[in-house]
Structure 1
């Protein structure tokens, strides 16, 4: 007993030390000199010698274009990207429209350039990129070297309907700002769970919310969209107006146009119960068993097993290079806070409370503060990557996946400043098809799925390729291990995908057909398939202008 108590004190001290080191690293990141910037070939080019499409943007949208010669404004706009690697990708210029009409002009100009290049047989790739929140750490996810970045940060208004049933949100808003604005109105939406994440990317690619067990994916709760399509026109997509476009925007990302505003269903806000546990790494077998048993039970169909107020649990194994240890973190949410503020019966009856932990807390808090709480692991300006795959709830596969992760931590343990979370999240049959139909490909799924998510932050640029290639190889190993046990699944949670992944291969032929038909209809010459950098494409042939 005495030795266990001593160990608890030691581990608690480690956690305090880890928090201190993370704070110091964040402070150093903010105060130290920025790394050397990449060369900027357009920094000394007079406007009249810039490429013709940039000259056209300047002529038609003079107050919207930020050139490399506007050093301070340009650097600030580049640094809007969240990950350091994307801040090191330098576009030719940044276009920041203030409304849909200005954006439409910019898209029309880019389409003319795209069509001109297509007719001339010149490359069209990398002409432009679209950036909403800029949080995706994928290389070139929302920026492009020597191209045009369309920055949507001014589309950030949050406008509730008079009756409170819906909220119209600008695509460039951050979720934390959305929730703060809605707090004043006593409302909340089925939105993101992490404060730095932007509205546009999360909704268009799927999105999971604390309220997903009640309402489904975030994308399935968008009532309508305002979209700038390839010819520059501004259109509305809803269940009654352009329903084909409305359907494919629910998971189809930026393949059909640029969404400027989403109208989302809203509901009255209420306090959440949030439970957090931190355990030492040696508890991994018990944590994984509790996870497997929980998913098996809530998907059993037994009366009361599934509870729509229980947000999907998050189980994380976090390797911290600075102390050479792995910690286990469990995050639980219940959207109907108990009056006594104690553990809700749903969570109390699981295996999670019985895990030995050196720290645990439970409290009732606002939705906004719960979202802020999940945003502390990787501050802006860090070197970061992510990746994902999906497995079925098979105990042997879960154990094999964890063993692969442990081997990867050994390979990465010398990477300076490494923080390496390995996350388990669930998609349950009780909610995966709630809300409006989407194109995610889960229509016929009747079993729980596990989203395996990798995330890593580190310090030095020299480790970029090693970390990224190691995580890619790890994902491939997990896929092979799951396939060998027939517990793999083709679905990929697009919000967590690395840029090399091909998530639409798992959405099913019928959904892929719907997306390709919509792309040909609204973007026949392939502006967003071929000219737009970043995002996940539909792998289709497009007609030339």
Structure 2
């Protein structure tokens, strides 16, 4: 009886802690979301005729698309479109905001001309422009560039369902939350992001990341067990190539380009539109378990391992395509001084009694002791709820690695995370989630072929990721280096047991990581060949800043 009473205090305490966290994040949002006050930048008073030659050419060709530093308020607003504060502090010379493919084509042609000038003998061919879709990736310079040009695709916000409801065409700058709200009214859903701020372009190409504090999500959809990766469900792409030409990439037009765009990022051109498969919408069943990590961490790790082992065993009924992958998070909150454990599970069919579906009821997850919350929700409401925990304007870093489903490796990874939070415990405002997500062999190769390098994988994989926020710029290097070192330690521990894996989930990688090395030589060759064919001048390899390159 005494133990039950003690446990009730633990649960109540966990609920209180989550409430405190939510309040803390809301306060942080109020502090950090307002745009940085406009201030003059170095080129603010530069006459147009003294700006770099390519900017002058852009002003002459597409004047309504060019935002200069001299337009202080509009420029600062455009800079603040980047989600992470560190990227807001990287100031470009100008921001280019085309309204349609024609304007973008003219912009790219001018950028390519400048790239060729910079690569003449005796010239210094440094990167000088970047491409921004949703602006969410927190990697330094992921979608911005110091003293260069940022191509901002936020006005490409089309959401057009086909007449028969079998496909939806989306502009690359559209936010997933807007996609879902629009499609809810049509009774449709598409494979897409699971966090409100994320843009269509980056996630679908596997170059952007989704942020979350308690349940970190990625370019894996709620419906991935049924249909595969998001990038494997794109029927066609509209692409602006380096020479300004606009082409379609599909299974019948430019099929080699279509293939490499499924995970190959923006290495081949700028994608302006995606046509995705769509299907009838239905409500979702969700459940979350929250408790203190110290009380349940060992049990939760074993339950996670056992679930993946069973779901990939090949036994009848073990794999259920309506069961979205479970997400297990351990969140260290510096202001509280300890960890919270959060488990998020979801089912794409709502049981008649609205209680735990049989698939989840048979797992070890239900026996975890903590605060349970079951819901029946729309896809939109789930995404809105997840997206509300990570305000824009925070200092942020992330990073990822992949391990096999080995219990000892899982325990080692968690132990290293705990040591990492001890190192970071004095960082003001630190919120440090460490997240487990699964890729199961039952779905990793569904949909169209991609270049992710999982074609021959027959075992479950676990994506481990950090998604860290903190308060002060003075802690930037310490936090970033500590997280990098932590991931390297996890990889070394896994390698010692032969339980590491070369795959890296690109959406969670930071700029120092090399995710394409895990794609396999055959897929790398496909990407390199496509790059030489569609981008012969190397505009998107050496002229473009940010993103992951093919090293050619």
Q: Give your verdict on TM over 0.5.
A: yes
Contact 1:290 1:351 in 2 (8 A): yes
Partner Cα distance (2:16, 2:350) in 1: 31
Pair 1:511 & 2:511 matched: no
1:203 is paired with a residue whose SS is helix
**1:400 match:** 412
Contact 1:392 1:448 in 2 (8 A): yes
**CA 1:304 to 1:223, structure 2 compared with 1: closer, same or farther past 3 Å?**
same
**1:151 match:** 152
The list of structure 1 runs, each at least 4 consecutive aligned residues, that deviate by more than 6 angstroms after superposition, is none
Partner Cα distance (1:243, 1:14) in 2: 52
**2:94 match:** 93
**1:340 match:** 353
Offset at residue 392 of structure 1 (A): 0.2
**1:354 match:** 367
2:366 is paired with a residue whose SS is coil
Between 1:198-207 and 1:279-288, the stretch displaced more is: 198-207
Offset at residue 29 of structure 1 (A): 2.4
Pair 1:13 & 2:16 matched: yes
Deviations 1:97-117 (A, max 9, x none): 011111010000000010011
Contact 2:36 2:76 in 1 (8 A): no
Please give the residue correspondences for 1:172-251 in structure 2 after superposition, counting only pairs within 5 Å.
172-205=173-206, 207-251=219-263
Offset at residue 218 of structure 1 (A): 0.2
Contact 1:315 1:423 in 2 (8 A): yes
Contact 2:32 2:392 in 1 (8 A): no
Contact 1:183 1:269 in 2 (8 A): yes
Deviations 1:201-245 (A, max 9, x none): 101017210000000000000000000001010000000000000
Please give the residue correspondences for 1:475-514 in structure 2 after superposition, counting only pairs within 5 Å.
475-514=487-526
Pair 1:304 & 2:320 matched: no
Offset at residue 35 of structure 1 (A): 7.9
Partner Cα distance (1:403, 1:6) in 2: 26
Partner Cα distance (2:255, 2:36) in 1: 47
Contact 1:126 1:145 in 2 (8 A): no
Partner Cα distance (1:36, 1:460) in 2: 20
Deviations 1:147-205 (A, max 9, x none): 00000000011000001000000000010011111111111100011111111110101
Could you tell me which runs of 5 or more consecutive residues in structure 2 were left unpaired when the two chains were aligned: 208-218
Partner Cα distance (1:419, 1:267) in 2: 37
2:136 is paired with a residue whose SS is coil
Partner Cα distance (2:155, 2:102) in 1: 13
Offset at residue 46 of structure 1 (A): 0.4
Offset at residue 36 of structure 1 (A): 9.4
**1:454 match:** 466
1:380 is paired with a residue whose SS is coil
Deviations 1:455-494 (A, max 9, x none): 1011111111110000000111111000000000000000
Partner Cα distance (2:114, 2:485) in 1: 38
Contact 2:14 2:290 in 1 (8 A): no
Q: How many residues align?
A: 537
**CA 1:320 to 1:516, structure 2 compared with 1: closer, same or farther past 3 Å?**
same
1:313 is paired with a residue whose SS is strand
**2:454 match:** 442
Partner Cα distance (2:29, 2:46) in 1: 36
Please give the residue correspondences for 1:274-423 in structure 2 after superposition, counting only pairs within 5 Å.
274-282=286-294, 283-357=296-370, 359-423=371-435
2:340 is paired with a residue whose SS is strand
TM-score (norm 2): 0.96
Contact 2:33 2:392 in 1 (8 A): no
1:352 is paired with a residue whose SS is helix
Partner Cα distance (2:461, 2:186) in 1: 36
Between 1:485-494 and 1:22-31, the stretch displaced more is: 22-31
Contact 2:33 2:391 in 1 (8 A): no
Partner Cα distance (1:30, 1:308) in 2: 38
Partner Cα distance (1:307, 1:9) in 2: 33
Partner Cα distance (2:164, 2:126) in 1: 45
Contact 1:129 1:534 in 2 (8 A): yes
